[in-house]
Amino acid sequence: MGHARVIEKDIFADVIEKIEMLTVSQQKFLQEMLAGREKVSTVSKKKLLKKSFGIWVDRKDIKGSIEYVDEIREGWGSRLERIKG
């Protein structure tokens, strides 16, 4: 029984650490979801999507969605060439 509690504490500590790594808006979203006491499976996908809108607003490394996607796509050509070998 003691071993199970140690594992539970490790898992709990890991969850807390991951929550602390979220942005402020992501933490707020998580807090609202937990406060609403709604099961994720019972919440409609459309409602979840609406609640998640702007979830990356506090990110400093993403200027704008178009620029961000363009940056990601820039490396695709060279990666494809490396894969082809």
What is the tens place of the pLDDT at every residue in 36-81?
765 656 677 788 778 777 777 777 777 777 887 888 888 888 888 8
Please state the pTM of the whole predicted model: 0.35
Residue 56 CB coordination number (10 Å): 14
Residue-level pLDDT at 80: 82
Half-sphere CA count of 76, side-chain side, radius 13 A? 6
CA 25 from chain centre, in angstroms, equals 11
The answer for residues whose C-beta is within 8 angstroms of residue 14's C-beta and 6 or more apart is: none
Catalogue the E-assigned strands of the chain: none
